[in-house]
Amino acid sequence: MAPRSRARRAREATDADTDDGSASPSGRITDKGTLLLMMPSITDVNGAGGVAARWNEYTRELTNEGWTVELWTVDAEDPDRAIPRYHLPNFPSTLTDSPGVGFCHKIWRRLNRRDPVVSCVVMTDLFSNVPIAMMCAGTGTPLVYSIHTDIAQLDGINMAPWSAAILQSTTSALAHATVTTSPSFKRLLESRGIRRIKDHYRPLPVSGVVAAADALSDAEVAAVRNELTAGHPTRPVMTYVGRWSAEKRMHLLKQCRPRGATLAFVGDGPMRDAVMDWHDPPRCVVLPGMRPRTELAGVYRATDWVCSASAFETFGNVPYEAAHCGTPALLQDAQGFKDQIDASESRGALLEFDAEDGEHQCAAAMDRTSLLVNAPHVVRSEARRMANRGTCIHAVVSEVVTKWSAGPVRKRRRIYLACAIWSSLVLASILQVMSFFMRLGVAIGVDFTTGMKNQRMSKRRWALRKTPTSTVELARMRSLVHADVSTAKGDDRGFDEEESGRRSPDENVAPNGFAGGGKQRNRKFRKGSPPKVTFAPNTPEPTPMWSRSSLDGPRHRAPVRPMFPVRVFLAGF
């Protein structure tokens, strides 16, 4: 197909009405053209993070505006639109793409196919960004590059952050428009040499979340709060909602939890095994499983604060959604979050969770923002002020396609295809070398990244669950006998009440007097009898085969499985 006919076809598609010459019922053009959207996923939040939820909304917006959307994702069921997957050794469940010659050839053929003509390509952060951008340049197809992830801080890539800057700046230079998620992240990217950034997107619509929050009864919210606090609804509670991965720095939240407060984790992700070990109600409550956005409305209303220690976020959908439900936030002073909370602290507070006095900063921030807990209208009004800041993806795509259609016609240049194939081979080789050393490190016990350590520990725990050795069981038995003898002698150190799940007198005191005395909080949903608790204190749990580190002190003693004479006899050899 000649390049000129393609430009003419795209221009006609942009100006076309419906087939019968009438406008659509909503007054919008029903066939503006075909868009190729490339991203890891629009459905799997566990594998793709908040990018999946954001692109799900973008896809709906583009479809409502009259564009025909052709989705290319890593988890696509259609093999013709599936992006090859690369399994990260440090986080195998994460959805990432794998560059390759076959994928380049498939994209090149699709961009040159006449029916339907591709009006524009829209893609987010992929390993194949540079090859795709080169093929768009070689075929004269407009490209919109959306940067949603700070890949320089991803586990593994953070060892060489300059590589991320090279990939993103090259792709941005070849794109017709580059858009990101927030003003602060835009400034950070520009400081790394990525200059051609057009604008930032406006936040995602939250009408569904707000409607779900308003529809909840006080009893329903009380049930969720009971779940978050493991049956202690009068304790102050701060909740992390989202994906459990290394770059989120969730361990800092555990370290900075003020005494007397409950920290709840809601979500799932690659670090599930490590986070599940933190469950120690009522201090730390772990609730695994991703929840729909409308179901999270109950979590937002039931908690006192949402929190995050991540310095990785490019915007932060969770605190934005929670603010529209009237809940303040305690967030890391980093890009993305800076655009949501200012010096007035009318939506929460920014602090340094990674500082030496992180716990003190967290307690002080809870004290300063405690009045917002009983003033949700203040938080909501402040959140509405930034709802329309930024641009929308439909406006960006329409502007790019209009300029491209009216501009000069570019000839097809196969040199770009050759460069794309060469760059994909280089990237694939680098990923294979990185994968080899990571797998070797996991095998020999050398951890180059946090994700590798998590994978190695998960494999060790799984092996102990499936095939526990007699030596391990004997060691458990000896430790139990030793503990029983110590208890008989009056040594009760092994039964520290503060680590047993029961509340000690000190744990009944909230930090800085919050919710104590005359400042008792009086939210309506706290009245009445609470329903059944998901994680009740002192509830027997499945027998673990390893010691679980507690939050504040000595280690738990795991129960010992029954012994058999043959296994005891073989243990001596």
Q: Which residues contact 145 (CB under 8 A, 6 or more apart)?
A: 123, 124, 129, 133, 171, 172, 175, 177, 178, 179
| Residue 411 banded pLDDT, cuts 50, 70, 90 | low
Same fold, 3-202+391-438 and 207-384: yes
7 pLDDT more than 70: no
Q: Is the dihedral of CA 502, 506, 507, 509 positive or negative?
A: positive
pLDDT at 460: 56
| Residue 246 banded pLDDT, cuts 50, 70, 90 | confident
3-class DSSP state of 70: strand
What is the phi-psi region of residue 528: left when phi exceeds 0, alpha when psi lies from -120 to 50, beta otherwise? Answer: left
| Residue 454 banded pLDDT, cuts 50, 70, 90 | low
Distance CA 453, CA 449 (A): 7
Distance CA 362, CA 258 (A): 7
Give the H/E segment covering residue 567. helix 565-570
1 pLDDT more than 90: no
pLDDT at 461: 52
pLDDT at 543: 32
Strands 305-308 and 237-243: parallel
pLDDT at 67: 94
| Residue 267 banded pLDDT, cuts 50, 70, 90 | very high
> What does R_g of the chain's alpha carbons equal in angstroms?
27
pLDDT at 467: 44
| Residue 22 banded pLDDT, cuts 50, 70, 90 | very low
542 exposed, middle or buried (CB, 10 Å; 0-12, 13-18, 19+)? exposed
Amino acid code (one letter) for 1: M
Higher pLDDT, 94 or 328: 328
Distance CA 391, CA 203 (A): 9
560 pLDDT more than 90: no
What is the phi-psi region of residue 33: left when phi exceeds 0, alpha when psi lies from -120 to 50, beta otherwise? Answer: left
Distance CA 88, CA 69 (A): 29
| Residue 262 banded pLDDT, cuts 50, 70, 90 | very high
Please state at what angle helix 317-324 crosses helix 293-302, rounded to 10 degrees: 70
pLDDT at 567: 39
pLDDT at 548: 27
Q: Average pLDDT, stretch 503-522? A: 40
Distance CA 429, CA 538 (A): 52
Give the tens place of pLDDT for each residue, 422-433. 999 999 998 888
Higher pLDDT, 281 or 486: 281
Amino acid code (one letter) for 323: A
497 pLDDT more than 90: no
Query: Across 19-28, 482-491, 511-520, 541-550, which has the greatest mean pLDDT?
Result: 482-491
361 pLDDT more than 70: yes
Task: Tell me which residue has tokens 């230079």.
Answer: 173
Contact (CB, 8 A) for 308 and 316? yes
Q: Which residues contact 130 (CB under 8 A, 6 or more apart)?
A: 167, 170, 171, 174, 420, 423, 427
The pLDDT > 70 percentage for the chain reads 69
Contact (CB, 8 A) for 38 and 433? no
514 pLDDT more than 50: no
Contact (CB, 8 A) for 100 and 84? yes
564 pLDDT more than 60: no
Model confidence, pTM: 0.72
CATH 3.40.50.20 fits 207-384, yes or no: no
pLDDT at 532: 29
293 pLDDT more than 70: yes
Q: What are the boundaries of each domain within the chain?
A: 3-202+391-438, 207-384
On average, the pLDDT of the chain sits at 76
Give the tens place of pLDDT for each residue, 312-351. 888 999 999 999 999 999 999 998 999 999 888 999 999 9
pLDDT at 529: 30
Task: Tell me which residue has tokens 């507690």.
Answer: 550
pLDDT at 484: 43
| Residue 51 banded pLDDT, cuts 50, 70, 90 | confident
The pLDDT > 90 percentage for the chain reads 44
Higher pLDDT, 310 or 481: 310
75 pLDDT more than 80: yes
Give the tens place of pLDDT for each residue, 111-151. 988 888 899 999 998 989 999 999 999 998 999 999 988 88
pLDDT at 393: 94
pLDDT at 269: 85
Lowest mean pLDDT among 22-31, 61-70, 182-191, 497-506: 497-506
3-class DSSP state of 318: helix
Q: Which CATH number fits domain 3-202+391-438: 3.40.50.2300, 3.90.1150.10, 1.20.120.420, 3.40.1030.10?
A: 3.40.50.2300
- What is the phi/psi pair of residue 565, to 5°? -55, -40
Is the peptide bond preceding residue 319 cis, with omega within 30 degrees of 0? no
